[in-house]
Amino acid sequence: MSSANSGLDAPRTRVTKRRFLFVIVVLFALALILYGIKRGDPETIHRFSAQI
């Protein structure tokens, strides 16, 4: 019985793990964006993109 239960739980565990990783990567991406803003990337981008 327990082995059957663990079989049923396996996909759910996979989905949970996937969502957990997803949240971690999203937070990491947001951290990169904020760090880029702090480092002055928008000013650098503007300096180049607002000229011919």
Partner 1 sequence: MSGKGDGLRPFRIGQIISAILLNAYILSYLQHKIIYTGFLKSIPEPILNCYGGPLSVFACPIGSFQQIIGIRQIPWLPIGVFLLVGIVVGRMACGWVCPFGLWQDLLNKIPAGRKSWLSFTLIALIGAVLAAGLTALLKAPWWRVYLYGWLPFTLVALLFTRLGNRDIPARMWLGGFLASIGLSLLVWFRLGASLGVVIGVVAMVLLSLTGRWFAAITAAIAALPVVLIGPTLHLGPLSGMVLAIVSAAVLAAIVLILDRAVKVTLPATYLKFAFLLIIAVVVAWKTGEPWFCKLCPQGTLEAGIPLVLWDPQGGLRDLVGWLYYVKVGILLLVVLASISIKRPFCRLICPIGALYSVFNKFSFLHLKVSSTCKTCKLCTKVCPMDIEVHQNANQLECIRCLECKYACTPRKVQAKF
What is the contact surface with partner 1 in residues (CB under 8 A)? 21-22, 25-26, 28-37, 39, 41-46, 48-52
Please state the closest distance from residue 1 (CB atom) to partner 1, in A.
26
Using the structure block, give the residue that is written with the tokens 């793990």: 17
Residue 16 CB, shortest distance to partner 1, in Å, is: 13
**Alpha helices per DSSP H over 1-52:** 2-39, 41-49
Q: Tell the smallest beta-carbon distance from residue 10 to partner 1 (Å).
A: 17
Cα-based torsion angle of the residue sequence 16, 18, 21, 25 in order, rounded to the nearest 10 degrees: -130
**Identity of the residue, 2 or 51, whose beta carbon is nearer to partner 1 in the bound complex:** 51
